[in-house]
């Protein structure tokens, strides 16, 4: 038996073993809180180690909660059908429509073509293009969209030394751009979606944070963080590299080869822009005490029940109904029975179901549901109140230091485990502890949410980091050297922005 197999078995056994130990140690608090603590520790071990698929671990509450008297199966299952799940699903369908039409490549190349041929400008173009895509589509999808373009630019470098440095800069730039861009909108990254749903679940009487309201702080923060990331990568890797006219020429040629905007691209853009506009304008946006935009969910219009999830689904369904005029070629035809059947169908939609079915990250939907189930278990078991009282001693008495402490703890956790899982674990705790710290719950939860995305040091920190590491062109040393500065900058920015 190999060492890795033994390690995997031990980690799988460690989850339930530590969960049982936590239950026995904390049983004096009551059976339900102690059992909930055991479930959290069990799931945390499996999530952080990834010895069991994340989605499988996320299903544990469906079995353990009713067995341990925390909640019934029916009540637990409700968490896996929250509207946040359908917001993510609809957003991903819109992204797949853009991918299927080829619009994503045109948009990325257009941005890069206008920034110039110097390596520092190519880096800026790659980061900006990835960040703008990640604002509206899943961060992982944004990396996958931009990665081939970045690799194409790297391969045009003049010599091996330049190719190595430019490769590290552009690939890390893609990952950083996707992560930072995703922080700026509620749909850009799963931790933000977890916050949106938990805020409604934990504070049903409070007005939710709207799409536009999130962007009022998310976009400025993104621009500052992105500028820092570009400066860091430029100073470390591209400062001494010369201009690469071939790279710019390649981008221009690829853009020219795409030809005119196609029928499919126009319709994909139409539904995507429609969804983005409705997301942004749905909620109340208070620019100042005198300037307030009420949004289309205002009183009297009868649309208060139409959530962002409904918008996402409403704008993605037409993708399956609009006829595609996309030219077929051997490279675009999947060699599956379903694709063969679809190819012979008299009607081919802009987004075929088999294409969407194969690419939707169903495991992430379960992972979000598992995080929401944990949050509900914290409340129903009474563990949230106990932890909130215990964490009262963390009060630093200073807003800057308090938010900084939150950001440090959550960022460290995000380096070791799934960003979505970290958000699901941390946000209910922050909501419970905030009153004891003399803070509004949102003042603790929002920086905690953003800190859950600030994992830049390790390949396992996020799918974005794992993808670029998998190219074999980014050494771990370079990732650590730049990542620690990115983590520190994230903590300082969050402390300044939300705690000053």
**Is-contact 172 479, C-beta < 8 A?**
yes
pTM across the whole model: 0.71
Task: Encode pLDDT of 331-373 as tens digits.
Answer: 344 444 444 444 445 568 999 999 999 888 788 788 888 888 8
pLDDT at 329: 44
The owner of tokens 């979606």 is 193
Question: Is 35 within the bounds of a domain?
Answer: no
Q: Which neighbouring-strand residues pair with 285?
A: 293
Strands (E), 205-301: 285-286, 292-293
Question: Is 490 within the bounds of a domain?
Answer: no
Q: What number of H helices and E strands is found in the chain? A: 24, 2
Task: Encode pLDDT of 316-331 as tens digits.
Answer: 999 999 999 876 543 3
The owner of tokens 């938990």 is 198
Number of domains the chain is built from: 1
How does residue 403 score in pLDDT terms, banded at 50, 70 and 90?
Answer: very high
Question: Is 18 within the bounds of a domain?
Answer: no
- Domain with 307, as residue range(s), is 84-359
A 10 A CB-CB count for 377 gives 26
Question: Is 26 within the bounds of a domain?
Answer: no
Residue 117 reports pLDDT greater than 70: no
Residue 227 reports pLDDT greater than 50: yes
pLDDT at 334: 46
Question: Is 93 within the bounds of a domain?
Answer: yes
Burial 168-207 (b: 16+ CB within 10 A, else e): bbbbbbbbbbbbbbbbbbbbbbbbbbbbbbbbbbbeeeee
Helix (H) or strand (E) holding 33: helix 31-49
Enumerate residues 6+ apart whose C-beta is below 8 A from 479: 172, 456, 457, 458, 459, 465, 469
How does residue 451 score in pLDDT terms, banded at 50, 70 and 90?
Answer: very high
Please work out, in degrees rounded to the nearest 5, the angle formed at the alpha carbon of residue 208 by the alpha carbons of 207 and 214. 130
Question: Is 478 within the bounds of a domain?
Answer: no
pLDDT at 484: 95
Question: Is 290 within the bounds of a domain?
Answer: yes
Question: Is 451 within the bounds of a domain?
Answer: no
Task: Encode pLDDT of 257-303 as tens digits.
Answer: 888 999 999 999 999 889 888 887 887 766 656 777 788 888 888 88
């Amino acid at each position: 038996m190999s060492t890795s197999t033994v390690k995997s078995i031990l980690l799988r056994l460690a989850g339930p073993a530590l969960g049982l130990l936590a239950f026995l140690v904390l049983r004096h608090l009551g059976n339900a809180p102690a059992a909930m603590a055991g479930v959290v520790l069990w799931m945390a071990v499996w999530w952080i180690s990834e010895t069991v698929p994340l989605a499988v671990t996320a299903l544990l509450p469906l079995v353990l909660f009713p067995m341990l008297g925390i909640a019934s199966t029916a009540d637990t299952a409700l968490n896996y059908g929250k509207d946040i799940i359908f917001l993510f699903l609809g957003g991903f369908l819109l992204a797949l429509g853009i991918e299927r039409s080829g619009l994503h490549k045109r948009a990325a190349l257009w941005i890069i073509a206008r920034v110039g041929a110097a390596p520092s400008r190519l880096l800026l173009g790659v980061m900006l293009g990835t960040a703008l895509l990640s604002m509206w589509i899943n961060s992982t999808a944004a990396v996958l969209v931009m990665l081939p373009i970045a690799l194409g630019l790297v391969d045009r470098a003049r010599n091996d030394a330049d190719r190595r440095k430019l490769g590290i800069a552009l690939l890390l730039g893609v990952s950083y751009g996707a992560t930072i861009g995703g922080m700026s909108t509620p749909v850009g990254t799963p931790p933000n979606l977890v916050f949106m749903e938990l805020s409604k679940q934990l504070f049903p009487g409070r007005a939710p944070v709207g799409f536009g309201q999130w962007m009022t702080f998310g976009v400025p923060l993104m621009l500052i963080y992105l500028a820092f990331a570009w400066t860091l990568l430029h100073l470390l890797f591209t400062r001494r590299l010369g201009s690469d006219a071939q790279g710019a020429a390649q981008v221009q040629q690829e853009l020219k080869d795409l030809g005119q905007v196609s029928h499919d691209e126009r319709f994909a853009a139409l539904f995507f822009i429609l969804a983005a506009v409705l997301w942004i304008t749905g909620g109340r946006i208070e620019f100042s005490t005198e300037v307030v935009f009420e949004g289309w969910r205002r009183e009297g219009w009868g649309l208060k029940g139409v959530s962002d999830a409904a918008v996402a689904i409403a704008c993605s369904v037409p993708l399956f109904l609009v006829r595609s005029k996309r030219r077929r070629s051997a490279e675009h035809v999947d060699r599956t029975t379903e694709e063969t059947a679809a190819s012979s169908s008299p009607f081919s939609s802009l987004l075929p179901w088999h294409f969407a079915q194969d690419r939707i990250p169903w495991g992430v939907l379960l992972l979000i549901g598992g995080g929401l189930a944990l949050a509900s278990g914290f409340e129903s078991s009474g563990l949230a109140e106990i932890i909130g009282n215990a964490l009262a001693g963390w009060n630093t008495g200073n807003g800057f230091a308090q938010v900084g402490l939150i950001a440090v703890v959550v960022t460290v956790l995000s380096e070791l485990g799934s960003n979505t899982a970290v958000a699901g674990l941390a946000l209910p705790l922050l909501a419970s502890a905030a009153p004891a710290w003399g803070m509004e719950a949102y003042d603790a939860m929002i920086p905690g949410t953003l800190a859950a995305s600030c994992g830049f040091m390790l390949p396992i920190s996020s799918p974005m980091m794992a993808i670029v590491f998998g190219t074999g062109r980014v050494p771990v040393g370079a990732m650590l050297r730049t990542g620690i500065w990115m983590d520190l900058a994230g903590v300082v920015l969050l402390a300044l922005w939300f705690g000053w």
